Structure formats: structure tokens, C-alpha cells
Amino acid sequence: MTKQSIKSILFLTFLICLSSCNAQAWSGKVVGVTDGDTIKVLKDGKHVKVNLYGIDAPDKGQPFGRQAKKFTTKFAAHKTVKVEPVDLDRNGRIVGLVTVYGKSLNKAIIRSGYAWVNRDSCNESFCFEWAKLENLAKKSKSGLWIQHDPIPPWKLRKTKNKKSINSHRLRGGKGVIYHGNRRSYVFHDPSCRYYGCQKCTELFHSRDEAINARYRPCEVCNP
């Protein structure tokens, strides 16, 4: 058996062991809240980042991102929680179910209207119930659903990544280009839902450049 084969076997054994270890529920104190769907839990003296399974809360800078984080902070911060790992994300971080004194944080934030059920990742039987709670929050205009047509974070990330790449290419790999709407005289950054509007044909290489041209910042993306 070659050294490469031995290394491969050892690595595979490591992954199996890791998967098995992560499958076991454990408890720890919440020592930080990154955003509405990500917390840091103290385990064996280390801070472990845990992403809430099956849901997606607004990202930082997105409408209701602060409110979602505030909800999770009030629900779980400085409390002992139970973490039931379901999966690992592409960065090796735990994705799981989190309960606080027997109450599901994943479920609670959906019910409150501060997160979406991620249909691509939520594959368990209870996801159907969560989808019902999301619809109820939407009908009652709870949380982020007070908005007419809120954009799910995963769609915004795809759009942002695509436009950031395009902006990067336009600048020869340097900085960000803002788009100015020649009709409204409002300018947007690449993360904005209105960045690619039909009249957004004016290009600015800085915020000051846009303001000096008598354009005003978009109230949605606040560039």
C-alpha cells in the first residue's frame, strides 16, 4: 500500500469520525450572535459558529437585518442552548437545529417573520410546517413581511456576486462602480436591487464623484 493510499484512508476515516461526532447533540452557552441565523456557542472552551438549519435571515446591510439579529440576540444570547447538528457547510461549519429551554430558535425566527425557509436546504419533514409559519407571517405582515416584495438573501448574494464581478472587470480589477439613474438622479451600489435599472447608465468611481454630480444616495442600499 502506497503512502498516498494510506493518507487517503486516514483522511476518509477522519471525515467519517467528524461526521459522526457532529451528529451528536451537545449543549453550550451562546457567546455571540453574528446575524439572525448565525450564532457562536461555547463548546469545550472554544467558540463554535453554528448556522441555523433550513432558514435564511436578512444579511447585514439588508432591510430587517438588524431586527433579525436583535430577535436572535434576545432569544438566545448568553443562554445555554442545545445544538443538534444536521450538516456542515462548505466551510466546515455546523449547520443545525438550536433550542433554548426546549423552544426552537429556527422555528421561532420563521414565525416572527424575520427569516425565510430556504427551500433548497430545508429537506426535513418539519420544513413543511415551517413553510406554513412563513406564510402566516407573510399574511399578517410580521417582521420583514411588512415590505411589499422582500428579496431573499440567497438571491441578493447571487446578484451581488455577479455585479461585483462585472464592476471589477469594468474598472480593470479595481474598486466599485456606482450606477446613477439619469431620470431620478439616484445612484446605487452593486448590491442594490435597482443597480441594473434601465436608466442606470451613469457610472461613478466613488461616492463623492456621484454626489458632486448632484446625484443622491439610494435609500435602499445607502451607498
Tell me: do 195 and 140 sit in the same domain.
no
On whether both 30 and 138 belong to a single domain, the answer is yes
Least confident of 94-103, 160-169, 194-203: 160-169
Q: What pairing do the DSSP bridges indicate for beta strands 103-104 and 55-56? A: unpaired
| Confidence bin at 160 (pLDDT 50/70/90) | low
Q: Residue 184 sits in which domain range?
A: 153-217
CATH code at 55?
Answer: 2.40.50.90
CB–CB of 35/59 below 8 Å?
A: yes
What would the mean pLDDT of 52-78 be, rounded to a whole number?
94
Domain count, the chain: 2
pLDDT at 191: 75
Do 52 and 160 belong together in one domain?
no
Query: Residue 214 class from Cβ within 10 Å (0-12 exposed, 13-18 middle, 19+ buried)?
Result: exposed
User: 69: pLDDT confidence band, cut at 50, 70 and 90?
Assistant: very high
